[in-house]
Every structure is written in C-alpha cells, then in structure tokens.
Amino acid sequence: MGLIDANLVPAVDGVAFGLLLFVAAAGLTLAFGTGDVLNLAHGTLYTVGGYSAAALCDGTWRGLLLALVAGTAAAAVGGALLAALTAPLRRRGHLAQALLTFGLALIGGDLLSSAAGGGDLPVAFPAALNGSVLLAGHRFPVHRLALIAVAAALAGAGQLVLTRTRAGALVRATVDDPQMVSCLGTDPRRVHAGVLVAGGALAGLAGVLGAPVIGPGPGSADTVLLLSLVVVVLGGLGSVGGALVAAVAVGEVQTLGVVLAPGLAPYLLFAAMAGALVLRSRTPGRRA
Amino acid sequence: MLEIQGLGAGYGGGTVLHGIDLTLPEGSMHAVLGHNGAGKTTLLHTVAGLVRPSRGSVTLAGRRLDGQPPHRIAQAGVGLVPQGRRVFARLTVAEHLALAHRRPRGQAAPWTPQAVLRLLPRLDERRSQLGGRLSGGEQQMLALARALLGQPRLLLLDEPTEGLAPAVADEVLALTRRLADDGLTVLLAAPQLRTAAAVAERLTVLTAGRTTATQDGAAARTDPSPLLAALSFTPDLEATP
C-alpha cells in the first residue's frame, strides 16, 4: 500500500503521458494499417500543434482554444500533403516511402524551428491549468488531470467512430483487405488519405494539448516519432486497441519507471519493443 | 454482354494468360475449368482489375474495362466473389452488408441488405457475428451477398464451393444458377467438371493460360470427352468431391 501511495503521482502522470501518446500515435498505426505507409513525418505533425500552441497561447482560454483549432487544422493540412506526396510511391515499397516522409520531416522540422527561433519554446497555458489540486492526500498537477480527461474523451470518441460508423467500418475493412474494398467500388487510396488527414489532425491536437509534457522544440518531433513507433510496434501495426494499451505502458515506463528504476528506464522501452517483435514473429499478428 | 478478346496478363514479368477469348451473353453462366495454376484466378482478377492486363480487351455491355482500377470496374457493374471468400474478419455481417450496399445514381439497384438476407436467410441469424467467426458456408454466403450489394451485372465466382460440405456446395451453385436465370451474367472458375457442367451453359478448359477446349453445357452433360481430353483425364480431378 505504501509503495502505491508513494508512487501515485508519477503513476497518474504516466497515464496522462500514455493517453497523450495514444492520441498522437493512433493516426500513425491506422495510416500504416490502411495504406501500408510508415509515416516518419508523423512526429513533425505533432510539433505543428506544439508551435501553434507556442504562437497562440497567451495565458487565456481564448488563446488555448485558438491554438487547438489552428494546430489541429494545420496538422490536418500536413496530413493531406503527406497523402498527396506518398500516393505516387505506393507501389515502390517501404524504403521509398520512409525516405520521402523522413525527408519531409527534416524539412518541416527545420522550417518550424527556424521560424520559431531554434530553442525550446515556452507555452503559456491558462493559469488554472498550471496549478495543482489536493486529492487523497496528494498534489496532482491540474494539467495532467485535464489531459487525462480530454485524451480519454478523444480516445472514446475515436473508438465510437471506428466501431459504430460506416466510415469506421470502411477503415477497418481497408486495414483488413484493401483489395476487397476496391472490389466493392471504393478506392482504398481515398480511405488512406482520409486516415492521414484525420491522424494528422489528432497528432496536431495532441501537440497543443501536450505542449507542457513534450513542448515545441528542435528535438520534439524525433521524441514523439520514436515513442509513437514504440507504441505502434508494441500494440501491433494497424491495431488501435493494442496501441492504447501500449501507449499507457510506455507512459508508465517513462514516468513511473524513471522513479522506480532510474538506471533501467531508458532501456526498458526498447527491451519491451524487441520482446514484442520476437514474440510477434512467432505468432500471426491481430489487427484493428 | 461480356466480351474478352486476346486477354494477356501476368505478374512481375511472368505471363500467366496468353490471349484469352471469351464471350458471355447476358444472363448466362460460363464455367472456366483447369488445374491449379492454369490461370483461372488470374483471368477473374484481370477482369476485376486486380491484375493489369498486358494486352487484349475486356468489354462489359459495350464499355471498355481493361486498364481501369478495380473500384471503377466494380462501379461499372462487376462483382467478385474471390477464392477463399476473403470476408473482412473483424467486421460483423451487418457491417459487411452496409459497407457493400451501393446505390448508383441513374442505375437499377435491386439489391438491398433486406433483399439479400431474404435470399440468404442463414446470414440473417448471424448479423452481429464477426466475419472471421462464420463457418465456411456462411462466409461464402456473405461473400456472395457482399458482391450482390454492389448491384453487379457480371458476377465473377472464384471456386465458390472450395472447402464446403457437398450439400452447402450444391446450395451455393443452385443459388448462382437462379441468379443467372434472373439475368445476371456469371463467370465461374471451378476445378470440377461435373459440378460446373450441371449449372453452366458453356464450359471452357484453361491449360497453362490458354483455352484448350470449349463445349456447351448440354453437350458436356452427355459427353464431356473433349473437355476431359483437354484436362488430360487427370483422375483426381473427378475423384475430388
């Protein structure tokens, strides 16, 4: 009991971090599932949201709202751009796509950080989000609790769209068998483009929401891409449910793991990923 | 209705089809016979647009289909029931039907999910089941329902009785025969001569990507020797149920 009590704050922090990663990585896993495109510019879409937050957040709720709208919209446009640019490379395999999206990530990252001045940028959230509240004898940062609520709501809404709507069924069908989707009269490339736009929007939204966790800066795109890739690999390519579990696990390793085993935490993530890959190579993977 | 002329196709440089000619009148069923690797699936996939033809033409009701992407060909009225069924494992039966239901503007759209379920009542009982949880026979019915909801004028059936119990296989074939009687044009790929001859108006044997024999269904039911000769009398072909 004492151990749980002592580590409750980092554990809650880990849930917040994990859900943020899930919102950021959901689009990456679905884009891979529907289009077989591994989008290495995905972290850059997150930073588009982060830089929007830095530019538009002025400590007021209005500024935050503006940043949420602008960051989401700009990252959605980024997703559309990626869809248009990767479309001609579909038949060329993963290496060509990885090179293109990686190149776009480098260019986009450079443009963003040179426009913003290079260093890590502060983001001024409304004062109410910067404080902490006393719950069950512990002080929790308000931002993390709000992040958990918003990200959980987003995850729930996303799950509803995916499981209860025709568009969601189309996405799941495309993950399963894009050829058969085309035989039903729907161009799977359009489904894939839609997923890239929606996934980009989610990554941008995460970039604004998560600015106090992984803020805008020259290294943030790489951090988000790397963690998202870990989430996608651990959760199973194309699997949203798996990504959710994996994201929370990664969040806990990054927060609770650092508190409990500071020496091991940096290796734990990649050990888990290697373990998942070895395991998956023996059992056929489940998807979406 | 369907006119296939000099159709050639293959994968990655290797040619599988060497100039196929077939003509299917409206409302007829044409069976393509042949061993594994003879090119039956490639022929159906090329008509459906999943394989790009290297030469020749495919014309459906006067409209050229060759070279078009599969979704355009589906919109033009071609439905595919693929080998191995390929139902979406993680979608329910009801989701399959909703997703497959097309209502093209300015065209007849007789098939609705309700109409399909009346034709295939067993699917009605399984509406909330996932595609991957259905029996082989139910998956075959679902694959057929999915194709019909696209409002096809031409139905491509790739070994629809494969892996089914004989009674279910007969049911599937009788059903397709009824669809053809109602005006649907059907191109059937089948490994067994006897079952195909029972339902098809015309039969063609494919050997290594070439048509080597063709016969009317009525003639094949009394004396299929030209087809058997083309199939080289392979005994296991007739022995398989």
Write out pLDDT tens, residues A45-83.
999 999 999 999 999 999 999 999 999 999 999 999 999
- Higher-scoring residue by pLDDT: B154, A89: B154
pLDDT on residue A283: 58
Residue B70 has pLDDT above 80, yes or no: yes
Contacts of A110 (CB under 8 A, 6+ apart): none
CA atoms within 13 A on the CB side of A145: 15
* Partner-chain contact B90 A176, CB within 8 Å: yes
pLDDT on residue B56: 96
Using CA coordinates, name the residue in chain B closest to A186: B71
Q: Is A208 within 8 Å of A51 (Cβ atoms)? A: no
Residues of A in contact with B150 (CB under 8 A): 183-185
Which DSSP category does A124 fall into? B
CA atoms within 13 A on the CB side of A54: 22
Residue B156 forms beta bridges with which residues? B80, B187
Residue A97 has pLDDT above 70, yes or no: yes
Please indicate, yes or no, if residue A275 is contained in any of the structural domains. Answer: yes
Please indicate, yes or no, if residue A288 is contained in any of the structural domains. Answer: no
User: Which residue type sits at A216?
Assistant: P
Please tell me the distance in Å from B88's CA to the nearest CA on chain A. 6
Please indicate, yes or no, if residue A197 is contained in any of the structural domains. Answer: yes
Q: Is A120 within 8 Å of A217 (Cβ atoms)? A: yes
Whole-angstrom Cα distance, residue A201 to residue A74?
8
Using CA coordinates, name the residue in chain A closest to B146: A184
Whole-angstrom Cα distance, residue A277 to residue A286?
13
pLDDT on residue A2: 67
- Judge if pTM exceeds 0.90: no
Whole-angstrom Cα distance, residue A49 to residue B27?
58
pLDDT on residue A264: 84
- Higher-scoring residue by pLDDT: B197, A35: B197
Residue A90 has pLDDT above 60, yes or no: yes
Residue A288 has pLDDT above 70, yes or no: no
pLDDT band at A284 (very low <50, low <70, confident <90, very high): low
B18: helix, strand or coil = strand
Residue A228 has pLDDT above 50, yes or no: yes
* Partner-chain contact B99 A287, CB within 8 Å: no
Please indicate, yes or no, if residue A169 is contained in any of the structural domains. Answer: yes
Please give the sequence-ordered ranges of beta strands (E in DSSP) within B61-182, or none if there are none.
63-64, 78-81, 154-158
Contacts of A43 (CB under 8 A, 6+ apart): A105, A220, A221, A222, A223, A224, A225, A226, A228
Instruction: Give tens-digit pLDDT for B206-239.
Output: 998 999 999 999 999 999 989 998 887 444 444 4
Please indicate, yes or no, if residue A287 is contained in any of the structural domains. Answer: no
Whole-angstrom Cα distance, residue A156 to residue A49?
21
A185: alpha, beta or left, given left = phi > 0 and alpha = psi -120 to 50?
left
Mean pLDDT of chain B: 91
What are the residues of chain B with a beta carbon less than 8 Å away from any beta carbon of chain A?
48-50, 69-71, 74-75, 79-80, 82, 86, 88-91, 95, 98-100, 102, 146-147, 150
Residue B30 forms beta bridges with which residues? B187, B202
pLDDT on residue B14: 85
Whole-angstrom Cα distance, residue B68 to residue B104?
18
- Between the alpha carbon of residue A168 and those of residues A49, A161, A174, A244, B67, the distances in Å are 25, 5, 10, 17, 30
Whole-angstrom Cα distance, residue A30 to residue A25?
9
Instruction: Give tens-digit pLDDT for A150-190.
Output: 999 999 999 899 999 999 999 999 989 999 999 999 999 99
How many structural domains does chain A have?
Answer: 1
Q: Is A133 within 8 Å of A228 (Cβ atoms)? A: no
pLDDT on residue A95: 87
Whole-angstrom Cα distance, residue A38 to residue A95?
9
pLDDT on residue A210: 95
Instruction: Give tens-digit pLDDT for B83-135.
Output: 999 999 999 999 999 999 998 887 778 899 999 999 999 999 999 999 999 99
Residue B147 has pLDDT above 50, yes or no: yes
SS3 sequence of B28-82? CEEEEECCCCCCHHHHHHHHHCCCCEEEEEEEECCEECCCCCHHHHHHCCEEEEC
pLDDT on residue A282: 66
* Partner-chain contact A187 B71, CB within 8 Å: yes
Please indicate, yes or no, if residue A72 is contained in any of the structural domains. Answer: yes
Which DSSP category does A185 fall into? T
pLDDT band at B204 (very low <50, low <70, confident <90, very high): very high
Residues of A in contact with B95 (CB under 8 A): 169, 173
Whole-angstrom Cα distance, residue B180 to residue B168?
19
Whole-angstrom Cα distance, residue A268 to residue B227?
65
Instruction: Give tens-digit pLDDT for A99-111.
Output: 999 999 999 998 9
Q: Is B185 within 8 Å of B173 (Cβ atoms)? A: no
Q: What is the mean pLDDT of the segment spanning B178-195? A: 92
Q: Is B137 within 8 Å of B167 (Cβ atoms)? A: no
Using CA coordinates, name the residue in chain B closest to A287: B90
Whole-angstrom Cα distance, residue B60 to residue A59?
64
Using CA coordinates, name the residue in chain A closest to B84: A180
Q: Supply the range of the domain harboring residue A227.
A: 2-281
B205: helix, strand or coil = strand
pLDDT on residue A137: 84
Write b or e for each residue in A232-264: b if 16 or more Cβ atoms lie within 10 A of its Cβ, otherwise e: bbbbbbbbbebbbbbbbbbbbbbbbbbebeeee
Please indicate, yes or no, if residue A67 is contained in any of the structural domains. Answer: yes
Instruction: Give tens-digit pLDDT for B12-59.
Output: 878 999 999 999 999 999 999 998 889 999 999 999 999 999 999 999
Whole-angstrom Cα distance, residue B172 to residue B161?
7
Please indicate, yes or no, if residue A66 is contained in any of the structural domains. Answer: yes
Its ipTM equals 0.90
